[in-house]
Structure 1
Amino acid sequence: MRYQAVTPVTPAPPVVTVVGIGADGWPGLPDTSRAALRDAEAVVGGPRQLALLPAECAGERIPWPSPLRPAVPGLLDRYAGRRLAVLASGDPMFYGIGRTLTEIAGAAAVRVLPHPSSVSHACARLGWPVEETEVVTLVGRPADRLAAVLHDGRRVLVLSAGANTPAEVAALLTDRGFGPSRLTVLEQLGAGAETAYSGTAAGWDHAPGDPLNVIAVECRRAPDALRLGAAPGLPDAAYEHDGQLTKRHVRAATLAALAPAPGELLWDVGGGSGSIGVEWLRTHPSCRAYAVERDPARAERIGRNAARLGVPQLRVVTGPAPDALAQLPAPDAVFIGGGLTVPGLLEACWAALPPGGRLVANTVTLESEALLADRYRRHGGELVKLSVAHAVPVGGFTGWRQAMPVTQWSVTKAGAEER
């Protein structure tokens, strides 16, 4: 057998070199990173990072403009053909500028020279296994995101947004029933000025310290706090509602039928209290969701529930469906919890789904049940009736009180619709 010689392809030089740097600055950099910075004709970074470079790095120093991401394409064009370096804190690919640059310029155009991240430093100081430690960043993100990972006994590292973040975290933990949790603030990790101090969330009285800090949380739930598990089907008491709430057992069955997967997008149509969208997002941090609710008071309530339960990224659209659906990005799954008899709603949701997308619709009325039965005949899927009864006192005894049965249609859209 003969083999044809293959001419090796020389990769194009990178457009930009991203250098991770720690709080220890220039002395903590390896030779490769130092050489890249010495050789650069221009270096982009935050003012604090640029100040860590010695005079031997003679390239033009450019502070990042704000907002940062929209400025990246213009900077790359401005310095095209020149040796451009970018400074980043720690590992540039861990909640850093490396992701933005690779998304805009392409991975082949970006050379990344990482430094140990603050997470690596913190876990080393605390003796925590990195793979067993939850990490939440509050840099440019609301503190409410932390609530989604609060479970008794878990260890969490919070990437701080500044000097006031530890007190903000302590207040949130106390408000969410985790006041007994122990907090350790680690400042200037890896630098000569590194320090740490601790306390409980409920008793936190430390003044703001260094803005460069990481917060370690050892989660402890207060005995009287409501327990929220990691699986769908949170207690109904976890939600603020006016009666428009998919109840716990039906909610768990609905999420099972929707089958969320990382990165997928849900439309929660007729959001009510937002429980389906909220619990979709709680399954994985990369999931996305829109809750569509025509009533402004309920729409505001959805936002409050999402924030309290740790998923403030839930996008709430106030307006009637199907009109309010027109500008939304295509979903991977749709849940219809109300409005099935509104003309065109079911058709619009079905048309928006790509092949392989899932639709789940719940109803308690005979009129809507007839619509779902018709769709079941046309498209297949699964049509079930969910019935839940609760034990209640009956005089001196105990009996069953039946909740209204819920008819549920769930279906996966085929590659081609023939009917």
Structure 2
Amino acid sequence: MSVTVVGLGADGWPGLAPPARTALEKADVVLGGRRHLDLLPETVTAEREAWPSPLVPALPGLLDRFARAELVVLASGDPMFFGIGAAVLRHRPDAAVLTHPSCLALAAARMGWAEQDVVTVSVVGRPLAAVRAALAPGRHLLVLADGPDTPGRLAALLVGAGYGSAGLSVLASLGAEHESRTDGVAADWDAPAGDPLAVVAVTCPERPDDDLLGRAPGLPDDAYDHDGQLTKAELRALSVAALRPLPGQLLWDVGGGAGSIGIEWCRAEPTARAVTIESRPDRAARITANAEALGVPGLEVVVGRAPQSLAGLDAPDAVFVGGAVSAPGMLDACRSALRPGGRLVANAVTLEGEAALAAAVAEHGGSIRRVAVSRATPVGRYLGWHAMAPVTQWIRRTP
């Protein structure tokens, strides 16, 4: 029997196109949130089944349970935009999807913004801190709220990030007769908690009080809380560029320190993932705090000593080794774990580490380079060059 995913707006039944109405009227069973089910008229005679909580783990069982029924799954707006549609299709690739204007489309129309120029961040079931990485001068953001207190929490985040002059517009119940809009500025936001079904439109200022501009690697060193174990900005930019962040790919950052490589890998490609392996619990806690402050709260931190702690982790698409490259088995464990087409970047600052990299490139190929950076520092009333420790870097790609 068939499965049809139907997008339903806040306007309910009157806003549905004829194919969606027909699917609902022919259905044996309709799955959806209680709010969505209550929007259906009596002409829909199907059995109505409300979603359990949590939903995603229960979805395969529900689809199996109603496998012999004409089944309609209700979703908010566009089912393929942060919706249940993709999850249904993973289990039932033959399912049909009947879409509806998304809250993004409606919000962009209300704000007069071109959709292709807007960055969208969902905080529904996701940390609000992810908004931090999307901030940029003059950018338009649409934030999908996860509750009535989201606008207030978002305003506080913007103030802390140097975007206190950002404009906020809370667009609630888009498409419904009781649709509403509340405007204000982040630094002065005092509106009470409102409708949980809201999109918050953010107009970023052209000149925020923020030094962390853009997603390119090489953030200022003082962007990180660290104890000295930090890959410096110049080498960090070169290392992340050599790792080549790609959509959906996984990085192992072995020997995390302050977490800067994993953090900037995730900032460079929002859909990429990273696991940082750090042996010291205090540094691991610092990495977690840095990741949240810099807008990538999804960074996973594993407390343990490599290479032993690498066992059991998902196979990576890229590996960065920032310390202990001369430890027995370290480079071999990292190299052999890579998926096809994966990239390995290893940095060394000691003679022993440099010797390990020279042996690795002789045995396994790849390229090796030495990076020396000098920064100007005060010498009395003048400036002079201060040389940083040179770094030897091995770069290898798996076949």
TM-score bin (small chain): over 0.9
Equivalent residue for 1:304, pick from 283, 289, 303: 289
Equivalent residue for 1:91, pick from 78, 82, 88: 78
Provide the residue aligned with 1:24 in structure 2: 11
Q: Kindly, what percent of the aligned residue pairs are identical?
A: 54
Q: How far, CA to CA, are the matches of 1:224 and 1:357 in structure 2?
A: 38
Corresponding residue pairs, total: 399
Equivalent positions of 1:37-52 (< 5 A) are 37-52=24-39
Q: Is the 8 A contact 1:358 1:412 kept in 2?
A: yes
Change (3 A) 1:223 1:170: closer
Is 1:212 aligned to residue 197 of structure 2? yes
The one-letter code matched in structure 2 to 1:235 is: P
Q: Is the 8 A contact 1:179 1:221 kept in 2?
A: no
Equivalent residue for 1:33, pick from 5, 20, 23: 20
Is 1:185 aligned to residue 170 of structure 2? yes
Provide the residue aligned with 1:417 in structure 2: none
Equivalent positions of 1:113-132 (< 5 A) are 113-132=98-117
Equivalent residue for 1:252, pick from 222, 226, 237: 237
Unmatched tracts of structure 1, length 5 or more: 1-12, 415-419
The one-letter code matched in structure 2 to 1:297 is: D
Provide the residue aligned with 2:219 in structure 1: 234
TM-score normalised according to structure 2 size: 0.98
How far the C-alpha of 1:223 sits from its partner, in A, is 5.2
Equivalent positions of 1:268-347 (< 5 A) are 268-347=253-332
The one-letter code matched in structure 1 to 2:131 is: L
The one-letter code matched in structure 2 to 1:259 is: R
How far the C-alpha of 1:376 sits from its partner, in A, is 1.0
Q: Deviations over 1:92-111 (max 9, x none)?
A: 000000010111222xx211
Q: Deviations over 1:33-92 (max 9, x none)?
A: 111111111111011111101111111111101111111111111111111111100000
Tell me how large the CA RMSD over aligned residues is: 1.1
How far the C-alpha of 1:341 sits from its partner, in A, is 2.2
How far the C-alpha of 1:227 sits from its partner, in A, is 3.1
The one-letter code matched in structure 2 to 1:288 is: R
Equivalent residue for 2:139, pick from 134, 154, 162: 154
The one-letter code matched in structure 2 to 1:91 is: D
Is 1:101 aligned to residue 88 of structure 2? yes
Provide the residue aligned with 1:198 in structure 2: 183
The one-letter code matched in structure 2 to 1:272 is: G
Q: Is the 8 A contact 1:390 1:402 kept in 2?
A: yes
Q: Secondary structure at the match of 2:377?
A: strand
Q: Is the 8 A contact 1:180 1:222 kept in 2?
A: no
Q: Secondary structure at the match of 1:289?
A: strand
Provide the residue aligned with 1:59 in structure 2: 46
Q: Secondary structure at the match of 1:202?
A: helix
Q: How far, CA to CA, are the matches of 1:161 and 1:354 in structure 2?
A: 36
Q: Is the 8 A contact 1:178 1:221 kept in 2?
A: no
Q: How far, CA to CA, are the matches of 2:50 and 2:364 in structure 1?
A: 57
Q: Is the 8 A contact 1:17 1:85 kept in 2?
A: yes
Q: How far, CA to CA, are the matches of 2:127 and 2:133 in structure 1?
A: 12
How far the C-alpha of 1:271 sits from its partner, in A, is 0.5
Provide the residue aligned with 2:58 in structure 1: 71
Is 1:350 aligned to residue 350 of structure 2? no
Q: How far, CA to CA, are the matches of 1:195 and 1:223 in structure 2?
A: 28
Q: How far, CA to CA, are the matches of 1:221 and 1:240 in structure 2?
A: 27
Q: Secondary structure at the match of 2:188?
A: coil
Q: Is the 8 A contact 1:45 1:64 kept in 2?
A: yes
Q: How far, CA to CA, are the matches of 2:382 and 2:219 in structure 1?
A: 28
Q: Deviations over 1:274-333 (max 9, x none)?
A: 000000011122101100001000001111111111111111100111111001011111
The one-letter code matched in structure 2 to 1:375 is: A
Is 1:383 aligned to residue 364 of structure 2? no
Q: Is the 8 A contact 1:331 1:357 kept in 2?
A: yes
How far the C-alpha of 1:392 sits from its partner, in A, is 1.5
How far the C-alpha of 1:224 sits from its partner, in A, is 4.0
Q: Deviations over 1:217-241 (max 9, x none)?
A: 0012765432332211111111111
Q: Secondary structure at the match of 2:168?
A: strand
Q: How far, CA to CA, are the matches of 2:305 and 2:367 in structure 1?
A: 27
Q: Deviations over 1:187-210 (max 9, x none)?
A: 111111011011111110000111
Q: Is the 8 A contact 2:163 2:208 kept in 1?
A: no
Provide the residue aligned with 1:371 in structure 2: 356
Q: Secondary structure at the match of 1:35?
A: helix
Q: Deviations over 1:1-22 (max 9, x none)?
A: xxxxxxxxxxxx63x1110000
Q: Secondary structure at the match of 2:85?
A: helix
Q: How far, CA to CA, are the matches of 1:101 and 1:212 in structure 2?
A: 23
Is 1:359 aligned to residue 319 of structure 2? no
Q: Deviations over 1:361-387 (max 9, x none)?
A: 011100010000011111221111111
Equivalent residue for 1:174, pick from 156, 159, 166: 159
Q: How far, CA to CA, are the matches of 1:239 and 1:405 in structure 2?
A: 21
Q: How far, CA to CA, are the matches of 2:208 and 2:315 in structure 1?
A: 43
Q: How far, CA to CA, are the matches of 2:208 and 2:110 in structure 1?
A: 30
